[in-house]
Structure 1
Amino acid sequence: MARDAPSIDAYGQGGFRLSGAWRAGSLLIVQDAAQAWAVAAMAELTVDSLAPVFAAGRHEVEFLLLGTGPANALPPRAVRDALAGAGMGLEFMDTAAAARLYNVLTAEGRRLAAALIAI
């Protein structure tokens, strides 16, 4: 079943085209709602920066799809441990790959959150 999630139509130049509208900066999509995300680099990724993901709970978010920026990078241990402790999975990859995968997974009806660092 497809979700009523926004589509990522384009990415790059410091932002995303989301369902036809340009949004500058990084992006957090939780429960099919997109919001600006203050994380501009992996060094800024903290458990607190993902508070909306944890607030949604594992019944709404089976896993977090994390776009790590221009290159793939291992998220901080505290983030990995917090997600595991909340019963949520984690998939991480460079933002370009994550943006493409997001559209596929939402079309499949997967319950995911996306945290995408702008490139």
Structure 2
Amino acid sequence: MRLNEVDYGAGRPVDGYGPAFFRIGGAVIEGAALVTPEGAGPWGGLDDAAALLALAGRIDVIFIGMGAEIAPLPHGLRDRLEAQGLGVEIMSSPAACRSYNVTLSEGRRVAAALLPVGQASF
């Protein structure tokens, strides 16, 4: 069997996640995270639509991870994002991490807006 190393180009993949954190490109981000091919950082969550709208013209698709389970977006958010030419895919955060990594490895213009999967217990 031949194994091939995944090439993410200059992008930063999601390496892992746990209660209230994400590990992206080796760095830990506590709470919600916004990941793009240019980098990653904290995200203000679903109330921070401006951070997502600022991606217009730079990416084609945003995977929005809603935490441990799929949940609906706040009223009108999908419409606002799509009006700016952004594709929107809603899923659980674990699925959004996987989808982001695969799509990033294909060289596509993609981002992930991720809500944590749970609360830290420490």
The TM-score normalised by the length of structure 1 is: 0.83
Quote the residue 1:77 is aligned against: 75
Quote the residue 1:42 is aligned against: none
The 3-state SS of whatever aligns with 1:101 is helix
- Corresponding residue pairs, total: 111
The 3-state SS of whatever aligns with 2:76 is helix
Q: Does 1:36 align with 2:42?
A: yes
Q: What per-residue deviation string (whole Å, max 9, x for no partner) do you get for residues 30-53 of structure 1?
A: 3522110122xxxxx23xx13133
- 1:25–1:117 contact (8 Å) kept in structure 2: yes
Work out the percentage of aligned pairs sharing the same amino acid: 35
- 1:53–1:113 contact (8 Å) kept in structure 2: no
- 1:8–1:18 contact (8 Å) kept in structure 2: yes
Structure 1 residue 112: Cα displacement:
1.4
What is the RMSD of the two structures over their aligned residues, measured on CA atoms?
Answer: 1.7
Give the number of the structure whose alpha-carbon radius of gyration is greater: 2
The 3-state SS of whatever aligns with 1:77 is coil
Q: Measure, in 2, the Cα distance between the counterparts of 1:32 and 1:118.
A: 21
Q: Measure, in 2, the Cα distance between the counterparts of 1:31 and 1:19.
A: 11
Q: Measure, in 2, the Cα distance between the counterparts of 1:34 and 1:50.
A: 16
Q: Measure, in 1, the Cα distance between the counterparts of 2:109 and 2:49.
A: 16
Equivalent position amino acid for 2:19 in 1: Q
- 2:52–2:81 contact (8 Å) kept in structure 1: no
Unaligned runs of 5+ in 2: 1-6, 118-122
Match of 1:115 among 82, 95, 113: 113
Structure 1 residue 6: Cα displacement:
1.0
Quote the residue 1:20 is aligned against: 26
Q: Measure, in 2, the Cα distance between the counterparts of 1:104 and 1:22.
A: 20
Runs of 4+ in 1 over 4 A off after TM superposition: none
Quote the residue 1:54 is aligned against: 53
Q: Measure, in 2, the Cα distance between the counterparts of 1:21 and 1:2.
A: 16
The TM-score normalised by the length of structure 2 is: 0.81
